[in-house]
């Protein structure tokens, strides 16, 4: 899954979804998972409050990093509108990014690109962003070589980054250790 979209494409694409979930394990421990495989999650822990805080921040970071694609079709509609089964509607309107989180269950956060007709019908959903209206007259910026620059991949809070776009190279891993400075010798000290 990517967080940015290409302005040049006008072809409809599936609406994206990210799911952050807390899973319980034997021994009173739990873990956090994300539907984006590139995200690093904390280790299993008995501290459910800390894991819930991390999961909420992780979902918010995905929402902040994602740009709503105006050419996406409704993710809810692609799931046969299972998020609002009692209400019939036709998917239509602008694309919006919603956050679904049930305060009673408190273990799943879902970010989804859905249509403006489905968004108000989905229980426990909050609209976070709307797709920017496409500007058909504007040309995409180009570099001197004539190539369109790739969209920047914003980093996501928590020590992980968004998933690479298709065709992007894998990000290089950085060492968390500080560089070592050579020791200074005092005057009069020998080897």
- Worst-scoring range by mean pLDDT, 32-36, 103-107, 111-115, 119-123? 103-107
- In whole angstroms, how far apart are CA 172 and each of 71, 164, 175? 31, 12, 10
Q: Tell me: the pLDDT tens digits for 62-115? A: 999 988 999 998 999 988 888 898 888 899 999 999 999 988 888 999 999 999
Q: What is the pTM of this model?
A: 0.63
Report residue 146's pLDDT band, with 50, 70 and 90 as the boundaries.
Answer: very low
Between CA 144 and CA 142 the distance in angstroms is 7
Q: What is the DSSP string of 112-173?
A: EEEETTTGGGSTTEEEEEEPPPP-SSPPPP--TTSPPPPPP--EETTTEEPPPPTTPPPPPP
Q: Quick check: 167 pLDDT over 80?
A: no
pLDDT for position 117: 94
pLDDT for position 134: 57
């Amino acid at each position: 899954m990517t967080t940015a979209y290409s302005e040049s494409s006008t072809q409809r694409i599936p609406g994206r979804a990210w799911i952050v979930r807390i899973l319980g394990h034997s021994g009173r421990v739990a873990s956090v998972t994300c539907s984006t495989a590139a995200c690093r999650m904390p280790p299993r822990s008995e501290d459910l409050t800390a894991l819930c805080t991390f999961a909420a921040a992780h979902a918010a970071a995905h929402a902040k990093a994602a740009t709503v694609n105006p050419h996406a079709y409704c993710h809810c509609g692609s799931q046969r509108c299972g998020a609002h089964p009692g209400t019939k509607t036709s998917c239509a309107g602008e694309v919006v990014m919603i956050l679904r989180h049930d305060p009673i269950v408190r273990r799943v956060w879902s970010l989804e690109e859905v249509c403006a007709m489905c968004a108000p019908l989905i229980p426990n959903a909050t609209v976070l962003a709307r797709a920017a209206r496409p500007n058909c007259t504007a040309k995409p910026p180009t570099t001197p070589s004539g190539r369109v620059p790739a969209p920047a991949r914003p980093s996501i809070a928590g020590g992980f980054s968004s998933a690479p776009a298709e065709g992007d190279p894998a990000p290089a891993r950085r060492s968390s250790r500080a560089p070592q400075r050579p020791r200074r010798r005092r005057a009069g000290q020998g080897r």
